[in-house]
Amino acid sequence: MGDALFEIDPDIRVARTLPARVYSDPEIFRLQRERLFARTWHYAGHDDLVKVAGQVHPFTLLPGALDEPLLLTRDQKDQLHCMSNVCTHRGTLVVEGPGHEQQLRCRYHGRRFALDGRFHSMPEFERTVNFPSPSDDLPAVSLGGWTRFLMVSLAPAMPFDELVSPMRARLDGLPFSQLAFDAAGARDYFVNANWALYIDNYLEGFHIPYVHSSLATTLDYGEYAVELQRFSVMQLGIAKPGEPAFALPRGHPDHERAVAAYYFWLFPTTMFNVYPWGVSVNLVTPLAVDRTRVSFLPFVWDASKRDAGAGAGLDRVEREDEVIVESVQLGVRSRLYERGRYSPAREGGVHHFHRLLAEFMRG
């Protein structure tokens, strides 16, 4: 893998964008699994999934890219845990569905584990030497919580707090404890494009006037703002006069602004879009080099504000993004396109993402 492939000049004025191959080469997609996805934080669920002691919730982390069977639990001491869901005997999946348990028991040969993942007992192992040992426990997985949302990482290259601290600074004080998941409003979109093209598109408001005519009527394009952090990007959608916005208290950094939406992207696959009605969690799941699932999960704290402003009509905006991103996927396969340049005024977020992607892919 030539290093020039992952060189992005830190100076956006002279930099060139990621080479087209990065979005279409199956070998690069394969390398991203260990170099990027295994080392970063991904959304695992919300705390209601493991609300009471004894509750267990198995899930697959990034199906298509990591395919890692994991398990969330809340133990009898009310502590949350994330661990491997693979039995340390011969590798069966331990928990097959969500439920309530006193203990975990593998249905293959009856090995038992405590809810914190520690080995408990195993029949017919009396003559096995040096058994049990710590390697018979279910491996623990790093778990982080921000408000109601849980994220996990197999081998985190950055502390969870560093990832979420920009959200804490901006969003503390909003009524996260009142959020209710709107399961009926959740949707999965399947996009025929590389996951990183979807992220590129998310990270700039540049295309809003061209691609999203409805969104453009509620947002002030001139005031749209982008702030870069080490492992995240925040975009601020500012409401046009008379359009819905947060009422932020005195002392809040955005008190003077009519914020219609906070768009937080956490490197590499998670987005928290925060509107006056609540939070739309958008998850980008890379299924294959040219196929991506985008999940929209709505969490509501004020349903009366759902149908107005930048946070309304999200399905239409998503379909508009999908069409444009699929068009880019066709373009990056061209023999006649190699890489582009950035607008320093409008594409700081895209440049920042490309720098991070390059940093992780260089290893």
Which stretches of the chain bind ligand FES, using CB under 6 A? 87, 89-90, 92, 106, 108-111
Alpha-carbon distance of 307 to 305, in angstroms, equals: 6
- List the single partner that 92 binds among ligand FES, Fe ion, none, CB under 5 to 8 Å by kind: ligand FES
Q: Which lies closer to Fe ion via its Cβ, residue 116 or residue 321?
A: 321
Q: Shortest gap between Cβ of 152 and ligand FES (angstroms)?
A: 22
Nearest-angstrom CA–CA distance, 152 and 70: 10
What's 178's DSSP letter? G
Helices 195-202 and 348-362 meet at what angle, rounded to 10? 150
Minimum separation from the CB atom of position 125 to Fe ion (A) = 56
Nearest approach, Cβ of residue 340 and ligand FES (Å): 51
Q: How far is the CB of 58 from ligand FES (least distance, A)?
A: 14
Task: Give me the least distance between CB of 100 and ligand FES, in Å please.
Answer: 21
Q: Find the DSSP H helices in 172-237.
A: 195-202, 208-211, 213-216
Q: Using CB distances below 5 to 8 A depending on partner kind, what does residue 109 bind out of Fe ion, ligand FES, none?
A: ligand FES
Please choose which of Fe ion, ligand FES, none residue 74 contacts, taking the beta carbon within 5 to 8 angstroms, the exact cut-off set by kind.
none
* Shorter beta-carbon distance to Fe ion: residue 321 or 347: 321
Residue 115 φ/ψ, nearest 5 degrees: -70, -10
H/E stretch holding 292: strand 291-300
Cα 107 to its chain centre, rounded Å, is 32
C-alpha separations of 115 from 53, 224, 333 in Å: 9, 46, 48
Residue 291 binding result from ligand FES, Fe ion, none, given CB thresholds of 5 to 8 Å by partner type: none
Q: Which does 305 bind (CB under 5 to 8 A by kind): Fe ion, ligand FES, none?
A: none
Name the binder of 293 from Fe ion, ligand FES, none, CB < 5-8 A by kind: none
Give min distance, CB of 317 to Fe ion, in A.
6
Residue 347 binds to Fe ion (criterion: CB under 5 A): no
Residue 295's binding partner, choosing from ligand FES, Fe ion, none, with beta-carbon cut-off 5 to 8 A by kind? none
Output 119 or 301, the one with its CB closest to ligand FES.
119
247 exposure class (CB count in 10 Å sphere: 0-12, 13-18, 19+):
exposed
CB distance 101 to 111 below 8 Å: no
Residue closer to ligand FES by CB (options 16, 109) is 109
Contact 264, 337 (CB under 8 A): no
The token pair that represents 111 in the structure block: 């090995």
Q: Which of residues 313-332 bind Fe ion (CB under 5 A)?
A: 321
Rounded-to-integer distance, Cα 122 and Cα 37, Å: 34
Nearer to ligand FES, 110 or 344 (CB): 110
Omega into 241 within 30° of 0, i.e. cis? no
Question: What is the smallest separation between the CB atom of 108 and ligand FES, expressed in angstroms?
Answer: 4
The entry of Fe ion, ligand FES, none that residue 321 binds, CB within 5 to 8 Å by partner kind: Fe ion
- The nearer residue to ligand FES, 105 or 240, going by C-beta atoms, is 105
Give the chain's count of helices (H) and strands (E): 7, 18
Measured N-to-C along each axis, helices 195-202 and 314-332 cross at an angle, to the nearest 10 degrees, of: 120
- In the complex, the smallest distance separating the C-beta of residue 321 from Fe ion, rounded to whole angstroms, is 4
Hunting for tokens 């009926």 — which residue is that?
Answer: 184
Residue ranges that bind Fe ion, judged by CB under 5 A:
321
